[in-house]
Amino acid sequence: MNYQRYFKTGKLLLLKTLNGSERTELMTASVISMEVDKLVLSLAYDEGATQQYPFCEGLSFEITTEAMGLGVRTTGLFGKKLDGDQFTVKLNPDLQMFQRRITQRFDCQLGIRFSRAARTLKTMREVWEKNLKVLYSPEAPLVYEGFKTCKVNISSGGVRFSIKPPADQGELCLILIDLKDGHPPVCAIAEIVWACLQDESAIMTGMRFINILSEDQQRIDTFILIKQEK
């Protein structure tokens, strides 16, 4: 199979871990090189991200990218970490082209808490885990405070809203979203996919959820469905 046609050097790929858990975990990686059916990749985050990420033997991925206006999808198996903050993935012979499914999006006003203080993927994942424990602990408050009402465009895959500059592609953020549905706020790590300067004090950003509970994604879909029916 001619993988080189789709996974050229410098190409950005989206890796989704297939770990059978109740969490969605994504990561963006850049193609360093390719030989037959083996990719050499580097995570597109802070220096050291590859060495810090808990890759393990047997970890498998769904790998997606774009080519010729279509989505490209295959699966692969983690190989090993290399020097230079790189790692290998062995591809399976199941490559397919597909029409990307457009997720339901909705413009609305929602309460947001937003932080980008943590600089590394490892630290951000630790902060996310701690927030989940607090949100779902028996001592969690019934009413959550500190949320700023913002105009957002939201889907189960990500969110768009305005933030203070600067904003860089690939920057990681911790986002809490209050859906006011009787459950704790949605808590996710989001990656800035694009940013557009509005004025000196505001940048519109599109963010992709890369760490989020599957249950929270379902809640967002339900929230959108209910709002659209009104």
* Topology classification of domain 3-98: Pnp Oxidase; Chain A (2.30.110)
The whole-chain average pLDDT of the chain stands at 92
Give residues with Cβ within 8 angstroms of 204, minimum separation 6: 160, 161, 162, 195, 196, 198
Question: Each residue of 172-219: pLDDT tens digit?
Answer: 999 999 998 989 999 999 999 999 998 888 999 999 999 999 999 999
Question: Each residue of 56-65: pLDDT tens digit?
Answer: 988 999 999 9
Q: Which residue has the higher pLDDT, 1 or 186?
A: 186
Q: Does the global pTM surpass 0.95? A: no
**Residue 142's pLDDT is what?**
67
Indicate the class that CATH gives domain 106-229: mainly beta
What is the average pLDDT across 117-126?
85
Rounded to whole angstroms, how far apart are CA atoms 71 and 62?
12
Q: What residues does 15 pair with on adjacent strands?
A: 27, 63
Q: Is the pLDDT of residue 111 over 80?
A: yes
| CA distances, 188 to each of 13, 150, 172, 212 (Å) | 20, 17, 10, 5
Q: Does the fold of domain 106-229 match that of domain 3-98?
A: no
Domain boundaries of the chain, sorted by first residue: 3-98, 106-229
For residue 97, give both structure tokens.
Answer: 């082209």
